[in-house]
Amino acid sequence: MKRLFTLILLFALVVFSLPAEASRTITDHAGDTVVLPDKIERIAVVGILPLPSVLTVFLGSAEKIVGIPPASMGAAKAGLLGEVFPEILKAETKYMSGLDLNIEELMRLRPDVVFYLAGSKELGAMIRNAGLPAVAISPTKWNYDVIRTYDEWIKTLSQIFPQESKTALVSSYSKKVYADVQKKVKDIKPEKRKKVLFLFQYDDKQMITSGRSFFGQYWCEAVGAKNAAEEVPADNSNAVITMEQVYKWNPDVIFITNFTPALPDDLYNNRIGGDNWSNITAVKNKAVYKMPLGMYRSYTPGTDTPITFLWMAQKVYPEIFKDINIEKEAFRYYKEIYGITLTEKQVKGIFNQGRESAAGFKK
């Protein structure tokens, strides 16, 4: 009996002397304090569509990513992400439909951390109430400043995964690109600045652009252009507009995002909604462009942001930026910053997107 008591006592001492599971505490983009396990092996993403691509490139692998939104999967299949990191294609998607979350399906994935869209308080509450660590990531906290937002995402990921920290490297590259562009466009007189229209979505039913309170406004100002639709009320980010307004604005350049299947040829040949684009300056000058898609749809913040910035500046002011070889820049960027060596075909594919680039995105 004495021997049994001694063994039980020794066992208890061992159990209670074991160190608690290591953890780290961060403050997320909603200002909430979140306690996370030090070792994260299973990651799920809810609502913040570009983040799976950012996580994958940041970590150099998609092996830990067990769940992503359907729209993120559509972009992964259409762009480079699924090609460079094929393991992302194994991630589960059925726990989400648009911004609707099936919490039971999410719980089945047993994630160590769930990244969700900041501002979606109900989503955050559902995730936390299910006992899952929830980290809010914001695309809007920094006033749609695409470069700053991407830098802040990387900063947050570097706190969660300090062994993979890339904050200094990414920030330095982004700031250099921004400074180089500003140096070349700062002396363009206001009356000489090109008018740019973004077609965020466009089909037979509606045309949606970027007003002042959306990413398009930042992109325009950053490359020394003017947002043709900046008069749209600031509280109306996804603004439904008419062809009559487009006639009034008469943009010099049109960018079509990868959130819509529409292509430049659709405007050149008036294929959508019976709209006649023939007299619009951008159409007459063949200055309508489908936005790039590398790791994700480039209109939003994401891994492709610095390269998108250079590409856009060159499309708006080709003479000013004629010295830039955008394909070489893309190759160098992914090689130097993330250690990813792209093939010539992959680099060309970034800047030649088709209708499939909008796959999985729901309005």
Q: What are the tens digits of pLDDT across the range 207-259?
A: 999 988 899 999 999 999 999 999 887 555 678 999 999 999 999 999 999 99
Q: Give the mean pLDDT of the chain.
A: 90
CA distance 300 to 111: 26
What is the rounded CA–CA span in Å between residue 313 and residue 291? 12
pLDDT at 10: 36
Query: Residue 285 burial (CB < 10 Å; 0-12/13-18/19+)?
Result: exposed
- In the prediction, which pLDDT does 212 show? 85
Q: Would you place residue 65 in the very low, low, confident or very high pLDDT band (cuts 50, 70, 90)?
A: very high
Percent of the chain whose pLDDT exceeds 90: 80
Tell me which of 81-95, 163-177, 195-209, 288-302 is least confident. 163-177
Closest Cα to residue 36, out of 47, 48, 26? Answer: 26
Query: At residue 283, what are phi and psi to the nearest 5 degrees?
Result: -75, -45
Provide the strand spans (E) within 77-200. 96-97, 100-101, 113-117, 134-137, 195-199
Neighbours of 155 (CB within 10 A): 15
The residue among 90 and 233 whose pLDDT is bigger is 90
Average pLDDT (311-339) is: 95
Domains and CATH numbers, the chain: 17-165 (3.40.50.1980), 172-358 (3.40.50.1980)
Are 38 and 165 contacting, i.e. CB atoms less than 8 angstroms apart? no
Q: Can you give the pLDDT at residue 132?
A: 96
Q: Output the six-digit token pair for 1.
A: 């009996």
Q: What is the largest CA-CA distance in the chain?
A: 98
Mean pLDDT of the region 261-290? 97
- Find tokens 């799920």 and name the residue: 44
pLDDT of 110 higher than 50: yes
d(CA 94, CA 235): 32
pLDDT in tens, 144-197: 999 999 999 999 999 999 988 888 888 899 999 999 999 999 999 999 999 999
Give pLDDT tens digits for 1-20: 444 344 333 334 333 333 44
Cα radius of gyration rounded to whole Å, the chain: 23
- pLDDT for position 352: 93
pLDDT at residue 237, as a whole number = 61
| pLDDT at residue 233, rounded to an integer | 73
